[in-house]
Amino acid sequence: MSKYTMPDDNQLQNNGQASFTVFGVGGGGGNAVEHMVQQGIRGVTFVCANTDKQALDRLTAPHKLQLGAKTNRGLGAGANPEVGREAAESDEEAIRALLEHSDMVFITAGMGGGTGTGAAPVVARIAKEMEVLTVAVVTTPFKFEGGKRIKAAKAGIEQLTNFVDSIITIPNDKLMSVYGNISMQDAFKKADDVLLHAVQGIAETIASEGMINIDFNDIRTAMTAKGHAMMGIGRASGDDRARQATEKAIRSPLLDDLRLENAKGLLVNVISSESLSLDEMSKISVIVEEITDIDEAHIFYGSVIDEKMGDDLHVTVIATGLTLDENAGEEPEVVEQPVPSVNSTQPVDPNLHTSALNSQKQSQAQYQENPIRSNTVPEQTKTKTNSIQDYLKRQQNK
């Protein structure tokens, strides 16, 4: 795909296009922003905020904010989220000023430490008060980092979800399991790429004119669905490119624990040359509808013509309002096991952000008519299973 360059900040504010801010909080968030800055992405306001002055000084982002400078003297939060929270609250007006002209903000942080865990929810709260569309992109700790850090990350994410419109959670352990024995640096780069592709994909979808356009209000409708969100990208060429690209997009390794049939919002953007046919668009929509409840979800399709694509076809899928698949990666018999504690080493805790799930489990008898929620109704009684893995298995058996 050709390199995409967004317009400058002043152009965005004057030509009616949406204004984007990427706000990195803490060390992990700052590194993610730095990755985007190094890629030369323009037209986005980049902000890095940290309690650690030395870490902040190493970054090249144009806007940097030292949190709690008067209280902790730039020495960091000492892995204490409370210190991070208090530092952010002490600089609330500065944060507000940095978000003043934003239509949409991506808040990125590594959860489990002090600054990211404690300060990111403060930034999200301020953005919500300013009515800025807010998406969080956060990572969870590796298992070897210990139960205390994992517990802190889960608590921070729970606070964060009270204020954001959608949240993309990237389990570091899953990155390692998917990509094998790669270096730590490469593993973190994979996580940083998720943020880069999310920002670039959404911005490109809005800014590019095509046969079928998605505008910022479509993005807002989809992203305000609340809950988990995920993004997948697929690219293919040849006679079967539509199917291959779409399946690559929905086969994102970070989607394994999410159930797309419960998606409340879905954005599907296709980039190709003028060779894109109606039959190919139909194939893409059929695959999407195979795994989505089309009667309930807000589904937006976009199609952008770019002659530089040649024979390649590029599909971006952004799904929002998702729920976690409680049985992902487990054998059927474990459904009767209790919900994992906050010290569980599961990469994504099924209890995250879904407090209502506990009450549903405790009053199971009230929901016997729902085979998805009931432990006593076998899964095979469902007329159709819509998880990504189920869909791909059906394709393999054809």
Q: Is 30 marked as a binding-site residue? A: yes
Q: Is 28 marked as a binding-site residue? A: yes
Q: Is 26 marked as a binding-site residue? A: no
Q: With contact defined as beta carbons under 8 Å apart, do 99 and 65 qualify?
A: no
Compute and round to an integer the Cα radius of gyration of the chain. Answer: 21
Residue partners of 207: CB distance under 8 A and separation at least 6: 6, 7, 17
Q: Which two tokens stand for residue 86?
A: 């208090």
Q: Is 72 marked as a binding-site residue? A: no
The Cα 360–Cα 171 span in angstroms is 26
Q: Is 386 marked as a binding-site residue? A: no
The Cα 298–Cα 15 span in angstroms is 27
Q: Is 192 marked as a binding-site residue? A: yes
Kindly report the CA angle at 167 between 166 and 168, in degrees rounded to 5? 130
Q: Is 114 marked as a binding-site residue? A: yes
Q: Is 146 marked as a binding-site residue? A: no
Q: Is 373 marked as a binding-site residue? A: no
For tokens 């002090």, the residue is 114
Q: Is 325 marked as a binding-site residue? A: no
Q: Is 29 marked as a binding-site residue? A: yes
Instruction: Name residue 235's beta-bridge partners.
Output: 314
Q: Angle at which helices 278-290 and 241-250 pack, to 10 degrees?
A: 30
CA atoms within 13 A on the CB side of 141: 25
| Burial state string for 128-166 with b = 16 or more CB within 10 A and e = fewer than 16 | eeeebbbbbbbbbbbbeeeeebbbbbbbbbbbbbebbbb
Binding residues: 27-31, 114-116, 145, 149, 192
Binding residues for GTP: 27-31, 114-116, 145, 149, 192
